[in-house]
Structure 1
Amino acid sequence: MNVGKKTAEMQRGNVDRISDLPDFILHDILLILDTKEAGRTSVLSKRWYRAWSSIPVLVFQPRYFKIDVCKARNDESEDDKDKLQRFVKFVDGTMLRYSILEFKIRKMYLEVLIVDEELVNLVDTWIKIAVLNQIEELEIQIHGNIDYVLPEFLFCAKSLKVLKCRRIELPYYEIMELVSLTHLTLEPISVDEDMLQRIISYCPLVELDITHEYLDEVSLPWMRKVDGRVEGCGSGTMQSNLQESPLQKFVFCSNRVYLPWPWKMNAMPLKNLKTVEISCATITDDIVYELISLEKLALNSCVRLKYVKISSLSLKDFQIHDSPDFMAELLEVTLDTPNLLEFKYNCKVETSLSLIRVLDRCNAQFSPFMFDIDILTTDWFVELKQFLKDTKLFKSLEMNLWHVDPIVVEEDQLRSFNTGRPYKLSELKLVETCLWDSTLYMESSLTTFLDALFWCCHPDVLSITTNSEISATKSILSILGKKVDCWKDPLKSIESP
């Protein structure tokens, strides 16, 4: 009889086939939705409630309970305390349910404001439940005046593949069973360097990303040449695994421009290392030279760089960004990179760029470094145009709009310079930053800015992107819609928000 009823429903097309899907498919559907939308599905049926309540990805953020962690950190109002208690109760109840029912946790993001030692113990308990439930990806972000120390049992998580920690302490433990850990991101308030060395040496790390202000010196597990012999960094059993290191990507940001470079390194013998990104560190030219075996190298705000000379057959992606610090010394960049495919250059127009061997098909983008420019003048645009024509490499030019005022450029002055036709570009990118405020800039200044840019270069495509609420896009489009000067060839397309 039930079979007949089901057949009749199927004939009428009323069967809910989605609810009959297995849990792992329903989980994938729920993961596409945001947290609120996923939660609403729980009222559809018991089947959907079970799927929602056992989803293997857990995201715990105070903002869902309208908690501003920056404000609540120093505000002890009863309203904030009540919100925090409800948040903690929700997290604790969820983790308890997953523990009792042994639901697998594939990924967990935990952001929490720690106000007392009791909450420290609760966070330890939540992490322990995640470890017991075979956590694969764990991201922790701690707020508050009480320091949080990573618990020892976390380093027994054999299933853990990705670990991201912010505002934590990394202590030293003898135990090390992170046999699956491939990606490690650390932004610690303190770090035991011996423990970090153990993680790097014993775990199958593919990617290491560390941001720290007080790191003294750490030896990464690669080989170095000493008196013609190759020796390993580290000691004991650590040395036997050095040549097998799977590390492919290393990212370092000091957060402070004057932090000395803390890593003993010679990357050439490290066979698997392909990408190095360094920000705000006092590395010197000789250290850059040691990185020529890479496929990707990014140097951001490294104030001690002066003459960057790179000769590499393997390098395919190179990015260099000058530093806004007044102590920056970058004078010259020389590239002998015949296989370079991507190049982003964010330096002053007066910085010398020498190209020995670079592919014509290299996707090269120039973003003029302008933090130290108070006024844009005719001379600056002349330098920009000459730089583009001398290098003959860049396909795109990116400009930040918050530099457009004050601008002192006269049309007659531009015409008086015999610099030839504008440089041909594939794309001109105009970027509105959060510093842009169109109410502070006259349309005449924006018009002058665009006139001077088109005098320097002819783009096929003009693209405009914005991350500010007050947009200049309408003004730009209005200006471009008016009659243009003779040096403004028609654009093939304009891309805007």
Structure 2
Amino acid sequence: MGFGENVAKMQKGTIDRISELPEFILHTILSMLDTKEAGRASVLSKKWYDAWSSIPVLDFNPQYFQKYGNRRHNYDDDTVERFVGFIDKTMERYFTRKYRITKFYLMLPKVDEKIETLVDKWIMIAVQNQIQSLEILIRGCRNNYRLPEILFCAKSLKYLKCGGIILPFYGTMELNSLEYLALIPNTLDADMLQKIISSCPLVELDIAYDEVFSPVWIPWMKKVNGEVKSRGTRTMQSNLQESPLQKFVYSSISVELPWPWDMNLVALKNLRKLEFNCVPLTDDIVSELSNGLVVLESLIIVSCSLLKCINISSNSLKQLRITDSLEIEKATIDAPKLLEFLCSCEVVTSLSVIRALDHCNARFWTLKVYSLTTVWLVKLKKFLVETNFFNSLVIDFNSSPVMVEEDLLRNVGGAPYKLRELKLRGTSTETATKSSFLMFLNGLFWCCHPDVLSITTNLQDSAAKLILSILQEKAECWKDPLKSLEVESIEYPRLLSHSSELEIRLRLSW
């Protein structure tokens, strides 16, 4: 039963108290619904219709106009025509009645000259109606649509995301409030990029490579760095040094896509946050960036599989995250101001932390464990002891085979590694048994002794009952019996959501 039907049911024989709510609250409720559900709610009463017709959040997605049975993103001319007509009628109403527009999301399956003219008009209306957030994505388009000049005069605009379009340079730039710019560009004018990062002191730049929207990447980057000298373009390096840009995010769909070699990020002297996701970073680039960006405070590297032997040295770095970079064999970290360090790599990686703050929150998140074996536990313990830096360990556990030979572990010397917290996160534990989970815990307790054991699992998973039953029996580790085990807290952070979670925190004394 949808939202509209639920409200209608509540109205029968009762006072319609929901409709008596102020309009801005009704706007908030409708903004949380998709277009289809919001439209259903609009028929409940005149006040609901008025609220729906003036809602400041506009979400135009052609899938709501798709004919039943059609393949997703395969839109015929009739669907596109009805979709565009609906948008135009809606925007005309907002223009005539001067309704405020705070958020405008537009997905177009294609554009032609007629649609381009209409999009220009819609953006003009949005700007005049104090637009704050604009996301415009055009699929199946190759260098066809250019954002109109009026958009760059939108002083209220804070969020801008573009895909499958051209971001041209008009010479006009009044985006003083812009805080976030996400580009999935096919073509980007170098002068426009330079103008944005030089004129928008609050902006966070997020460049994503998506093959659906941007099949050509290298020519843009070469132009950005001024390599096309025959056209008289100045080099970007000297200009970038004057840029107030503080946050830069670069992500792609595959490390096989080219790295923008000619983009000189070291020249961004004010950069404080740098994030890479699934891009072909090399060891030399990481070293150059960490050394050259003198005020960099946050460096996040995710799924960069070309990295082998990295050396990060920074006197300003406070946050460092290196996750899902499977091929790293050696890493050296020298960051005397480091407050947070999250690492996810193979347990055979050689990791050396030369300098960091004593109270640094250092977490090691193990990669997915397909089977818990004696050999893996020995490697994990060796990694923790040799690194001697991590105070938290995060492990995703599931119903994979547990093959721990307790007799072999007894013969392996060395005290368990001391941890502040061991976090176990359940993924798929429907088939777990009490004996296998006990063996799982016993193996981990041989490896490390945590002060706190945190277990998170889905309430719908049988593991929740299994864990609670084991705790009620006060099960002890076979090698180092626990002196005491106390339940510190049991939380249900998402009890009302579809995927409710159970989190149990236990205080352990050895």
Q: Quickly name the TM-score band, shorter chain normalised.
A: 0.7 to 0.9
Instruction: Choose which of 175, 187, 191 in structure 1 pairs with 2:184.
Output: 187
Is structure 2 residue 402 aligned with structure 1 residue 407? Answer: yes
Of residues 276-285 and 418-427 in structure 1, the stretch that sits farther from structure 2 once superposed is 418-427
Q: Where do residues 70-81 of structure 1 align in structure 2 (5 Å cutoff)? A: 71-74=71-74
Kept in 2: contact 1:254–1:281 (CA 8 A) = yes
SS at match of 2:274: strand
**C-alpha displacement of 1:118:** 5.7
| Residue of structure 2 in register with 1:361 after alignment | 359
| Residue of structure 2 in register with 1:295 after alignment | 297
Per-residue CA distance 1:408-453 (angstroms, 9 max, x = gap): 2122222232222353332413142xxx3624x5554444323322
Residues 473 and 215 of structure 1: CA distance in aligned 2, closer, same or farther (over 3 Å): farther
| Residue of structure 2 in register with 1:59 after alignment | 59
| Residue of structure 2 in register with 1:308 after alignment | 310
Residues 259 and 135 of structure 1: CA distance in aligned 2, closer, same or farther (over 3 Å): same
| Residue of structure 2 in register with 1:235 after alignment | 234
Is structure 2 residue 342 aligned with structure 1 residue 344? Answer: yes
Kept in 2: contact 1:134–1:157 (CA 8 A) = no
Q: Where do residues 137-156 of structure 1 align in structure 2 (5 Å cutoff)? A: 137-143=133-139, 149-153=145-149, 155-156=151-152
Q: Distance in 2 between matches of 1:30 and 1:488?
A: 58
Per-residue CA distance 1:434-490 (angstroms, 9 max, x = gap): xx3624x55544443233223323331313145x97563333333444433343632
Alignment: residue pair count: 451
Residues 419 and 258 of structure 1: CA distance in aligned 2, closer, same or farther (over 3 Å): same
Q: Aligned partner of 1:183: which letter? A: Y
Residues 492 and 219 of structure 1: CA distance in aligned 2, closer, same or farther (over 3 Å): farther
Is structure 2 residue 469 aligned with structure 1 residue 478? Answer: yes
Q: Distance in 2 between matches of 1:393 and 1:68?
A: 57
| Residue of structure 2 in register with 1:6 after alignment | none
| Residue of structure 2 in register with 1:27 after alignment | 24
SS at match of 1:382: helix
Is structure 2 residue 85 aligned with structure 1 residue 94? Answer: no
Per-residue CA distance 1:371-405 (angstroms, 9 max, x = gap): xx654320111121232233333232211224x52
Kept in 2: contact 1:208–1:251 (CA 8 A) = yes
| Residue of structure 2 in register with 1:279 after alignment | 277
Residues 455 and 111 of structure 1: CA distance in aligned 2, closer, same or farther (over 3 Å): farther
Task: Output the TM-score relative to the length of structure 2.
Answer: 0.74
Per-residue CA distance 1:116-154 (angstroms, 9 max, x = gap): 776565444433322333322101234467886343346
Kept in 2: contact 1:61–1:111 (CA 8 A) = yes
Kept in 1: contact 2:336–2:355 (CA 8 A) = yes
Q: Aligned partner of 2:456: which letter? A: I
Of residues 135-144 and 354-363 in structure 1, the stretch that sits farther from structure 2 once superposed is 135-144
Q: Distance in 2 between matches of 1:382 and 1:187?
A: 45
**C-alpha displacement of 1:38:** 7.3
Kept in 2: contact 1:27–1:52 (CA 8 A) = no
Q: Distance in 2 between matches of 1:220 and 1:437?
A: 52
| Residue of structure 1 in register with 2:376 after alignment | 380
**C-alpha displacement of 1:248:** 0.7
SS at match of 2:367: coil
Q: Distance in 2 between matches of 1:219 and 1:275?
A: 23
Q: Where do residues 89-238 of structure 1 align in structure 2 (5 Å cutoff)? A: 89-114=85-110, 122-143=118-139, 149-153=145-149, 155-159=151-155, 160-166=157-163, 168-170=164-166, 172-180=168-176, 181-188=178-185, 190-192=186-188, 194=190, 197-204=193-200, 206-212=203-209, 214-216=216-218, 218=221, 235=234
**C-alpha displacement of 1:92:** 2.9
Q: Aligned partner of 1:472: which letter? A: A
**C-alpha displacement of 1:281:** 1.9
Instruction: Choose which of 417, 424, 432 in structure 2 pairs with 1:429.
Output: 424
**C-alpha displacement of 1:114:** 4.1
Q: Aligned partner of 2:100: which letter? A: K
The runs of 5 or more residues in structure 1 that have no matched partner are 1-13, 224-232
Of residues 445-454 and 28-37 in structure 1, the stretch that sits farther from structure 2 once superposed is 28-37
SS at match of 1:163: strand
| Residue of structure 2 in register with 1:417 after alignment | 412
Q: Distance in 2 between matches of 1:112 and 1:471?
A: 44
Q: Distance in 2 between matches of 1:170 and 1:69?
A: 33
Q: Aligned partner of 1:425: which letter? A: R
RMSD over aligned Cα atoms = 4.0
| Residue of structure 2 in register with 1:461 after alignment | 453
**C-alpha displacement of 1:364:** 1.3
| Residue of structure 1 in register with 2:5 after alignment | none
Kept in 2: contact 1:455–1:488 (CA 8 A) = no
Q: Aligned partner of 1:478: which letter? A: S
Q: Distance in 1 between matches of 2:98 and 2:255?
A: 47
Q: Distance in 1 between matches of 2:90 and 2:455?
A: 46
Kept in 2: contact 1:364–1:396 (CA 8 A) = yes
SS at match of 2:259: coil
Per-residue CA distance 1:179-215 (angstroms, 9 max, x = gap): 3334210124x22353664454554162110111642
SS at match of 2:279: coil
Residues 359 and 276 of structure 1: CA distance in aligned 2, closer, same or farther (over 3 Å): same
SS at match of 2:376: helix
Task: Output the TM-score relative to the length of structure 1.
Answer: 0.76
Q: Aligned partner of 1:72: which letter? A: R
| Residue of structure 2 in register with 1:448 after alignment | 439
Q: Aligned partner of 2:424: which letter? A: K
Kept in 2: contact 1:200–1:220 (CA 8 A) = no
The runs of 5 or more residues in structure 2 that have no matched partner are 1-14, 227-231, 492-500, 503-510
Kept in 1: contact 2:244–2:270 (CA 8 A) = yes
Q: Distance in 1 between matches of 2:384 and 2:200?
A: 44
Q: Distance in 2 between matches of 1:139 and 1:38?
A: 20
SS at match of 1:291: helix
SS at match of 1:138: strand
**C-alpha displacement of 1:46:** 6.3
Q: Distance in 2 between matches of 1:140 and 1:69?
A: 26
Residues 464 and 355 of structure 1: CA distance in aligned 2, closer, same or farther (over 3 Å): same
Q: Aligned partner of 1:163: which letter? A: L
